[in-house]
Amino acid sequence: MEAEEIIALLPYQSPFLFVDGIETISEHHITGHYTFKEDEFFYEGHFKGNPITPGVILTECMAQIGLVCLGMYLVKDELRNSQKPQIALTSHQMDFYLPVLPGQKVIVHSEKEVFRFNKLKCKVKMLNEKEELVARGIISGMLKV
């Protein structure tokens, strides 16, 4: 399954799709990116005159790339027949180090820790274009195809 196919099958759309591309993907890891547009809906109120990307949105971006895209790749054979994946985030623990401003590109790296019975647990990290650590943590979810 190609990166473009995975992105097309994601159960998200604008303004809640936080995946622009996937650079690498395998059974063990994924690397993808997203650029936060300056007119994203959440910047208007977070914060007045000094917009930054909310941590929950950064977590969502890491989940979409690092958990959902990787998970869809892992169940690609089953997915070809169903085309309607169901995804549920089951847990996450994140640490945030740097803000992400409007217009910034982030790169998400995710490594599979466990994948059993369609439950996926990954170690994720987000870097900015300067390769500085923005956030990292553990994220888990269930996939049903």
Q: 31-41 pLDDT, tens per residue?
A: 999 999 999 99
Q: Number of structural domains, the chain?
A: 1
Q: β-pairing, 119-128 with 105-116?
A: antiparallel
User: Do residues 58 and 99 make contact, with C-beta atoms less than 8 angstroms apart?
Assistant: no
- For residue 132, pLDDT over 80 is answered with yes
Give residue-wise pLDDT tens across range 51-80.
999 999 999 999 999 999 999 999 988 877
Tokens of 13: 């759309």
* Residue range of the domain that includes 132: 3-144
Tell me, what's the pLDDT at 121? 97
Which residues belong to the active site?
Answer: 46
pTM: 0.94
Which segment of 2-11, 19-28, 131-140 scores lowest on mean pLDDT? 2-11
Q: Work out the pLDDT band at 83, boundaries 50, 70, 90.
A: low
